[in-house]
A and B are shown apart, each in its own frame.
Chain A
Amino acid sequence: MSSQPVKIEVKDLSIHYGNTPALEEVSLEVREHEIFGIIGPANAGKTSFLKAINRMDVFTTGMNVAGDIRFGDIDVHKADNIYALRKRIGVVFPLPVGLPMTIYDNVALAPRLSGITNKGDLDVIVERCLSRAALWDEVGDRLNSLGSLLSGGQQQRLTIARALSQNPEVLMLDEFSIAVDPVTTMRIEDVLKELKSEMTIILVTNLVQQARRLADRTAFFLEGRCVEIGDTEAMFNGEVQHQKTLDYIEGKFG
C-alpha cells in the first residue's frame, strides 16, 4: 500500500472558527486507492478537516484555514475554480440528504451541471451509480418517485450514488452510518471496499470498529490535533505511539 502515490498532501493545516481553534497543525498524506480512516471523539476537528479539503469553508462564516493542502497538482487554497475542485471530490454527509426531486434527477443532477444532456449517457450514469451504491435493486423500477421519500438507509445510499455521479477521484464520507440501520451500514461498507479500486476514500467515523473493518491506515484526531497515523491493523494490535490512542480504540473514553 505504501507504494501508492500520494493523492492528498496536507501540511500544517490549522483551522479556526473566530478565535476558537478547531484543528491545529495537522500534517498527513492520503494515498491513492486507500481507505484512509479518521477516528476520534466529538470536537476532534474531523469534519472541519473534510470541509477544508473540498473548500466548504467558503460559506462557513468565520472559518479560517491556514496551511497547505495539495490535491494532485492543485494547491487547494489557492484554486481559482473551487467548483471544478469540488467536482473531483465526492462528499457524503452524516445525515442523508435526498434532494426533493426524483431519484433519477438526484443522481443526474451533477452530470447535468457538468453539461451532460444526452439521455442515453445520463441513463448509464444513473444505473451505474445506483448499482455501485447497492440501491439499484430496490429503486430501479421507480426512478421517478421522489428521492426525499426514501427511507433513511436508502437515502444515504442515494447520497453515495450522487457523490459517485461525476466519477470523483476522492470520496469523503463523514460519519455516514449515524442515521443508518446496521444492515444498510454493512452493505455500504461492502460498497466502499469495492470502490477502493477506483478511487481514494477518506472515511471519518465515530465507530472505531468501522475504521478497523475498512481503513488501510487510520489517523486518530483528538481535540484538534492529529495524535498519530498508522497502519490500521497494527494500531488495533496495540502498536501505538500514544497511550491515548490505545485508550480510545479500547473504548476507555470517547
Chain B
Amino acid sequence: MDKPFPAIQHPNANNRGADWYVDKLMQALVFIGGISAIIFIVGIFVFITKEGLGFITDRFDFMEFFTTEYWFPSDEDDPEFGILALIAGTASVTGLAMIVAIPFALGAAIYIGEFATGKKREYLKVLVELLAAIPSVVWGFIGLSIMNPLIIKTFDVPVGLNVLNAGVILGLMAAPIMASIAEDALKAVPDSYREAAEAMGATRWQVITRVVLPAARNGLLGAVLLGVGRGFGETMAVLMATGHSVNIPGSIFDSVRALTATIAAELGETAVGSEHYGALFTIGIFLFIITFLINLTADLIVKGIKKG
C-alpha cells in the first residue's frame, strides 16, 4: 500500500501571507543594491566636480592646461598648470604596459583555455587569479628594488625609474586580470564550434585562430580595454616606478610622472580650496571622463558587433 500524499497547506489566496512581504522586501533590497551603483557614480562625479569647480571657473585655461608641459602648481609668484607632460607620462606608461601585457595575457588565456587540461588547468587558473590579487604597492616595490638596478646595469643608463620600468611593472600587473577575463571569453565559445572546425580537419592552432578567437573577440576586446583602464587608473606602482619627474619622454629610459600619481603625491600637501587643490581635482575630472569614454567605447563596440 502506498503512503498517502503528505498534506500541503495552501495559503488563502485572498490574504497576503508572510511570503508576499518577504518577496517585496527582498525586491526592495536588491533594487537598492542595483540603484546604488548609479548613486555612487553620480555622487563621485558631483563631488570631484564641486571640488574642482573653483579652479575651473577662476583660473582654468583650456590651452594652458592641456597643451603646456609646465606643472608648477605651488609656485608662489607664478604657478603654472600644464598637464601635457603628465598625460604623456600616463599614456606612455599605459601604452608600453599594453605592449607587454597583451601578448602575455592572450598567451596565458589561450594556453589555459585551449590546451591545459585537468589539474594543470585548475592550478594555473588559481595562480593567475592569485597574481591579479597582488597589491600594487608590492609591484611598485619590485619596480624600485629589482627593476631599477636591473635596468641601470643592463642598459647602462643613469636612472632605472622610468617609462620602461613602470611600463613593464604595470604590464605584468595588468596581465593576470586581462588573462582571466580573456580566458572567460574563450570559455564562453561553445565547444560545438571547436568540434565543427576540428571535424573539418583544422589543426588545433587553426581552430583557435580561425574560429575561437574571432568568436571571442568581444570578450577579448573587453579584456584589453579593462587593462587600458587599469593602466590609466593605477597609482601606487607608477608613482614608485616612473621616477615621478614631470617630463615628456623622448625614450623609454626617461623618467615621467603619471596623472594619478600626481594627485596622490600632492593632494596631502595642498590647502583645501586652494588653486593647487582645485587643479588636482580637475585632473581627477579629466581621468573620470577618460575612463568613462573608454568604457563607453568598449560598450558601443561590443554592441555594434552583436548587431552586425
* Same complex origin of A and B: yes
Q: How far is the CA of A59 from the CA of B199 in the complex (A)?
A: 11
Q: Find the residue from B192, B198, B200, B308 having the highest chain A CB count within 10 A.
A: B200
| 0/1 string, A87-113, CB within 8 A of B gives 1 | 101110101010111000000011011
A93 in contact with B196 (CB, 8 Å): yes
CB-CB under 8 A for A87 and B196, given A61-B117, A101-B214, A113-B206: no
Asked if A166 is at the interface of the complex by the 8 Å CB criterion, the answer is yes
Q: How far is the CA of A85 from the CA of B201 in the complex (A)?
A: 7
Give the residues from 202 to 216 in chain B that come closer than 8 angstroms, CB to CB, to chain A: 202-203, 206, 210-211, 214-215
Q: How far is the CA of A165 from the CA of B7 in the complex (A)?
A: 63
| 0/1 string, A109-120, CB within 8 A of B gives 1 | 110111000000
| 0/1 string, B171-204, CB within 8 A of A gives 1 | 0000000000000000000001101111111110
CB-CB under 8 A for A59 and B192, given A99-B211, A100-B214, A109-B210: no
Q: How far is the CA of A89 from the CA of B200 in the complex (A)?
A: 8
Q: How far is the CA of A163 from the CA of B196 in the complex (A)?
A: 9
B206 to chain A: closest residue by CB? A113
Which of chain B's residues have a CB closer than 8 A to the CB of A77? none
B214 in contact with A83 (CB, 8 Å): no
CB-CB under 8 A for A166 and B201, given A113-B206, A113-B210: yes
Which of chain B's residues have a CB closer than 8 A to the CB of A91? 199
Q: Find the residue from A84, A109, A163 having the highest chain B CB count within 10 A.
A: A109
Q: How far is the CA of A109 from the CA of B206 in the complex (A)?
A: 10
Q: How far is the CA of A175 from the CA of B199 in the complex (A)?
A: 16
B198 in contact with A59 (CB, 8 Å): yes
Q: Find the residue from B195, B206, B214, B215 having the highest chain A CB count within 10 A.
A: B195
Which of chain A's residues have a CB closer than 8 A to the CB of B199? 54, 56, 86, 89-91, 93, 163
B196 in contact with A86 (CB, 8 Å): no
| 0/1 string, B206-229, CB within 8 A of A gives 1 | 100011001100000000000000
B206 in contact with A100 (CB, 8 Å): no
B201 in contact with A56 (CB, 8 Å): no
Which of chain A's residues have a CB closer than 8 A to the CB of B117? 61
Asked if A46 is at the interface of the complex by the 8 Å CB criterion, the answer is no
CB-CB under 8 A for A100 and B201, given A93-B192, A93-B195, A93-B196: no
Point out the residue from B196, B203, B215 that lies within 8 Å of A162, measured CB to CB.
Answer: B196
A50 to chain B: closest residue by CB? B199
Question: Within the complex, what minimum Cβ distance (angstroms) separates B179 from chain A?
Answer: 23
Asked if A154 is at the interface of the complex by the 8 Å CB criterion, the answer is no
Question: Within the complex, what minimum Cβ distance (angstroms) separates B306 from chain A?
Answer: 10
- Please count the residue pairs between chain A and chain B whose beta carbons lie under 8 angstroms apart in the complex: 64
Question: Within the complex, what minimum Cβ distance (angstroms) separates B110 from chain A?
Answer: 16
B214 in contact with A56 (CB, 8 Å): no
Give the residues from 102 to 155 in chain B that come closer than 8 angstroms, CB to CB, to chain A: 117-118
Which of chain B's residues have a CB closer than 8 A to the CB of A218? none
A97 in contact with B192 (CB, 8 Å): yes
Question: Within the complex, what minimum Cβ distance (angstroms) separates A169 from chain B?
Answer: 13
B191 to chain A: closest residue by CB? A59
Asked if A159 is at the interface of the complex by the 8 Å CB criterion, the answer is yes
Q: How far is the CA of A87 from the CA of B199 in the complex (A)?
A: 8
CB-CB under 8 A for A113 and B200, given A61-B117, A99-B211, A100-B214: yes
Question: Within the complex, what minimum Cβ distance (angstroms) separates B303 from chain A?
Answer: 15
Question: Within the complex, what minimum Cβ distance (angstroms) separates A161 from chain B?
Answer: 12
Which of chain A's residues have a CB closer than 8 A to the CB of B195? 56, 93, 97
Point out the residue from A86, A101, A146 that lies within 8 Å of B200, measured CB to CB.
Answer: A86
B192 in contact with A56 (CB, 8 Å): no
Which of chain B's residues have a CB closer than 8 A to the CB of A113? 200-202, 206, 210
B210 to chain A: closest residue by CB? A109
Which of chain A's residues have a CB closer than 8 A to the CB of B201? 83-87, 110, 113-114, 166
CB-CB under 8 A for A97 and B203, given A61-B117, A109-B210, A113-B210: no
B215 in contact with A100 (CB, 8 Å): yes
Q: How far is the CA of A85 from the CA of B206 in the complex (A)?
A: 16
Question: Which A residues lie at the B interface, using CB under 8 A?
Answer: 54, 56, 59, 61, 83-87, 89-91, 93, 95, 97, 99-101, 109-110, 112-114, 146, 159, 162-163, 165-166
Give the 4 A-B CB pairs with smallest separation, nearest first: A87-B201, A86-B201, A91-B199, A97-B196
A-B contact pairs, 14 of them (CB 8 A): A56-B195, A85-B201, A86-B201, A90-B199, A93-B199, A99-B197, A99-B211, A109-B200, A109-B210, A112-B210, A113-B200, A113-B202, A113-B210, A165-B200
Beyond A61-B117, A97-B193, A109-B202, 10 extra complex contacts between A and B, CB < 8 Å:
A54-B199, A61-B118, A90-B199, A90-B200, A93-B192, A93-B199, A99-B211, A109-B211, A110-B202, A113-B206
